[in-house]
Chains A and B, each alone.
Chain A
Amino acid sequence: MNVDLLSFARGPALKFALGIFCAGVVWRILAFCLLRIRRDFNRPRNSMLKYLWTGVFATASRSWPHPEFIKRTGAGEALGYSYHMGLFVVILLFGPHIAFLGSLFGITWPGLPSSVITAIAVVTATLFLGVLFRRVTTPVIRMLSNFDDYFSWFITMLVMLTGLAASAHLGARYETLLAIHILSVDVLLVWFPFGKLMHAFYIFPSRAINGAILARKGAAT
């Protein structure tokens, strides 16, 4: 037999997963973008250029912690942003990942030493565990949480752990570990359009559009 788990994972399974991902993302976004849009008839406070630019600026400024809020939100924000940064570094700057993305997008870029990546991945996975702890122990967040929150956490964590296991050759034959890692990415891709992971697509447009709408009034952004 020529098809083994690894060939399946990075062949038909990946194709299927990517297909669901692309179709699902476009479906979900279009489905709400095409709902009713209200025209604003009130007179803007600023020129369109100014308020659009403020909106664009808000995509970055919303990450900036304000002194008035930071006492209460600092720890959570630090945790959240730092594991995101860790994820980006691991996903985008690890050699085999660059090769994978390169095979999809046709471009590559330089990466970091694999040992550095491993260290960052371990730290990120630890922080991510802290994220779950926080979700479960903070009353506000626990109240807000639903299946989506927990499953999205689970599948992301699975990708991280299987990736670490594969690169450490830990627990089974390398190609099995690699296959499981790629399969977990496939599952993540399939889940992506249906859960909160969509925030990856939403965050910058949301900050920009809501920021622009507020800026149009001269309101605080």
Chain B
Amino acid sequence: MMDSTRDPTVGETLRKHGVTRRGFVKFCTATVTAMALPPWMGAAMAEQLRNSPRPSVIYLSFQECTGCFESFTCSFSPTIENLMFNVISLDYDDTLMAAAGDAAESALATAMKTNFGKYVLIVDGSIPTGASGACCTAAGRSAEDILREAAKGARVILAVGTCSSFGGIPFADPNPTNAWPVSAIVGDTPIINVSGCPPIPEVITGTLLQYVTTGEIPDLDEHRRPKAFFGNTIHDRCYRRPFYDAGKFAKTFDDEGARNGWCLYELGCKGPTTYNACATLKWNGGTSFPIESGHGCLGCSEPGFWDKGSFYEAQSTAKWGRAGETSGKQVLELVGATVALGGVLGVGSAGISRLHQTHLEKDRNEDVTKDEP
């Protein structure tokens, strides 16, 4: 793909696929609204995009389950998100591309060379460094090497999914492949983390779209996630919040409270500490989200969510064991051990006190009664 052939603009491509200008403006407006940008930007975004050459995007997948990619691409019915593939120029993607072997590798090399400094690099999956990088290789090169090279020519990296954002499930204890997030490998290129396991499709596309349109990195939180989608917790927007406030909690799955849609706090919902858009954008085109389906939030867009564990224990519980272990036995052990220790110290103290008392009382001439109060 050469610049000189002038790629069709986004608008031209869309028109080819039967998307009207109006439809596209609507899509952009919806996206802009979801990101809490000013409404006038919708039209501006549409206009800009229509007249822009399609930006180059390279999608690299490392130690991942492909769930993030599935989220990005799959949908129940053809939606405008699909058409995003016509807005960008997806110059490399392991899963979608027809080429394989040397052809695929040369496509990657060409894409990086041609668009050096200009392409958007999307990464999903964690980067394992264990076994000298042998845990994840393509064409004999380790994931780490591939990433480092690709990062050099990228103007921004979108780390899509919790694995690439924070290390995700491979990073969880004991992390046998010594997996790392993108931010641990790459230092120079700006990174936007779009976390989630997987992230909501509209969150991925919205972030990409905003960057592609404005060329600017959106407002990020301390974990480098776009505040537009990760600024509020699930708890802040959860429709079951009134039940939380009223202290109505489901105690077990399928009990009376659960059937009445009560808050799932005691069943381990991590909504209060999980930043994501699930409660508002929801999944499957706004159909539902875990809590609405009766299961507590797992906190999948947060760092270390797997090790923090206690998926089914309320957030305010003590948590000492490994993920999945309950604290009860450990509490008993701790209490037993420290009570015993306290006992020993107490006996020791009493002994010291008594000895000291005897010491204070010596030199006394008379010793009247033995039994003192």
A contacts B: CB pair < 8 Å = yes
Residues of chain A within 8 A (CB-CB) of B335 are 18, 22
The residue of chain A having its C-beta at the shortest distance from the C-beta of B310 within the complex is: A103
Q: How large is the interface on B (under 10, 10 to 19, 20 to 34, 35 or more residues)?
A: 35 or more
B286 at the interface (CB under 8 A from A): no
Check B371–A38 contact: CB distance below 8 A: yes
Shortest C-beta distance, B255 to chain A (Å), equals 13
Q: Is the CB of B346 within 8 A of A26?
A: yes
A15-B334 CB under 8 A given contacts A26-B342, A106-B328, A111-B247: yes
B346 touches A10 (CB 8 A): no
Query: Per a CB cutoff under 8 Å, which of A18, A31, A115, A116 touches B338?
Result: A18
B341-369 interface (Cβ within 8 A of A): 341-343, 345-347, 349-351, 353-354, 357
Determine whether the beta carbon of A104 is less than 8 Å from that of B350.
Answer: no
Main secondary structure of the interface of B (DSSP, over half): helix
> In this assembly, does B339 line the interface, its C-beta being within 8 Å of a C-beta of chain A?
yes
Which residues of B lie under 8 Å from residue A21 when comparing CB positions? 338
The residues in A between 22 and 43 inclusive whose CB is less than 8 angstroms from any CB of B are 22-36, 38-39
Asked if B173 is an interface residue, CB under 8 A from chain A, the answer is: yes
Q: Closest B-chain residue to A167, C-beta based? A: B245
Known: A18-B335, A24-B342, A113-B247. A97 touches B316 (CB 8 A): yes
Q: B18 an interface residue at 8 Å Cβ cutoff?
A: no
A122 contacts chain B at the CB level, 8 A cutoff: no
- Give the nearest-CB partner of A30 in chain B: B346
Please choose the segment from A1-9, A52-60, A132-140 that sits at the chain B interface, where 4 or more of its residues have CB less than 8 A away: A1-9
Residue A112 at the B interface, CB < 8 A?
A: yes
Q: Is B265 on the interface with A (CB-CB < 8 A)?
A: yes
**Which residues of chain B are near A145, meaning CB under 8 Å?**
none
Tell me if B349 and A31 are in contact (CB < 8 A). yes
Taking the nearest CB of chain B, how far is it from the CB of A89, in angstroms?
Answer: 12
The answer for the CA separation of A19 and B373 in the assembled complex, in Å, is: 33
| Distance to closest chain A CB from B185 (angstroms) | 15
Please name the residue on chain A nearest to B352 by beta carbon.
A31
Q: Given A7-B319, A23-B339, A32-B350, A99 and B246 touching (CB < 8 A)?
A: no
B272 touches A (CB below 8 Å): yes
Contact B272 A7 (CB under 8 A): no
Q: Find out whether the CB atom of A1 lies under 8 angstroms from the CB atom of B303.
A: yes
Q: Is A178 an interface residue (CB 8 A)?
A: yes
Give me 10 A-to-B residue pairs in the complex whose CB atoms sit less than 8 angstroms apart, sorted by A's number. A31-B353, A95-B249, A100-B316, A100-B317, A102-B317, A103-B318, A112-B247, A169-B236, A174-B273, A175-B273
- Across the A-B interface, give the 9 residue pairs with the lowest CB-CB distance, nearest first: A30-B346, A26-B342, A103-B317, A2-B304, A34-B350, A99-B314, A31-B349, A23-B342, A22-B338
Question: What residues of chain A have their CB less than 8 Å away from a CB belonging to chain B?
Answer: 1-4, 6-7, 10-12, 14-15, 18-36, 38-39, 94-97, 99-100, 102-106, 108, 111-117, 169, 174-175, 178
